[in-house]
């Protein structure tokens, strides 16, 4: 599934043009969705240095996007093409009813509980530390 996700107000608290605090479970949820084969596209109002800062913020936390403000990585912006991303799902704080929280996003997209996401997160952290200190 191709998932387009906004940055300000969705991955982080809205503090545009600065970067707000990360929303609880945002990045971990997106990383887990990627592990299941979903393509995550960053779809944001940001451009230039502000966009670079958002992409770097996510990259520093282990989240790299399939594409950024494009349908696919090699796409070149063209004046005659709309900026709307061709995705199966859009995750945005400006949808009707506002943002629903990342736990609910996870449940809708995977039919699994938030507890399962937390358990997967804990397992991945344990694996990291055991690899780091393995004799």
Among 98, 99, 38, residue whose Cα is nearest residue 63: 38
The CATH class that applies to domain 2-132 reads alpha beta
| Pairwise CA distance, residues 96 & 93, whole Å | 9
What is residue 57's predicted lDDT score, i.e. its pLDDT? 98
What is residue 90's predicted lDDT score, i.e. its pLDDT? 92
What is residue 10's predicted lDDT score, i.e. its pLDDT? 96
**Residue-level pLDDT, tens digit, the chain, 135 residues:** 999 999 999 999 999 999 999 999 999 999 999 999 999 999 999 999 999 999 999 999 999 999 999 988 888 776 666 678 889 999 999 887 788 888 888 888 888 765 665 676 666 656 555 555 554
Handedness of CA 32, 88, 85, 96 (dihedral sign): negative
Q: Which residues pair with 41 in a beta bridge?
A: 4, 67
Q: At what angle do helices 114-132 and 26-35 cross, to 10 degrees?
A: 80
What is residue 126's predicted lDDT score, i.e. its pLDDT? 60
What is residue 116's predicted lDDT score, i.e. its pLDDT? 65
What is residue 114's predicted lDDT score, i.e. its pLDDT? 59
Q: Where are the domains of the chain?
A: 2-132
């Amino acid at each position: 599934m191709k998932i387009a996700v906004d940055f300000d107000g969705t991955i982080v608290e809205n503090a545009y043009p600065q970067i707000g605090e990360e929303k609880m479970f945002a990045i971990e949820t997106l990383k887990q969705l990627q592990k299941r084969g979903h393509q995550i596209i960053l779809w944001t109002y940001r451009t230039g240095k502000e966009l670079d800062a958002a992409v770097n913020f996510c990259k520093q936390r282990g989240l790299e996007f399939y594409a950024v403000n494009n349908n696919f990585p090699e796409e070149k912006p063209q004046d005659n093409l709309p900026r709307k991303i061709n995705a199966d799902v859009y995750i945005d704080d400006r949808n009707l009813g506002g943002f629903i929280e990342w736990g609910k996003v996870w449940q809708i997209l995977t039919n699994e509980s938030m507890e399962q996401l937390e358990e997967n997160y804990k397992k991945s952290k344990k694996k990291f530390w055991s690899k780091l200190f393995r004799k």
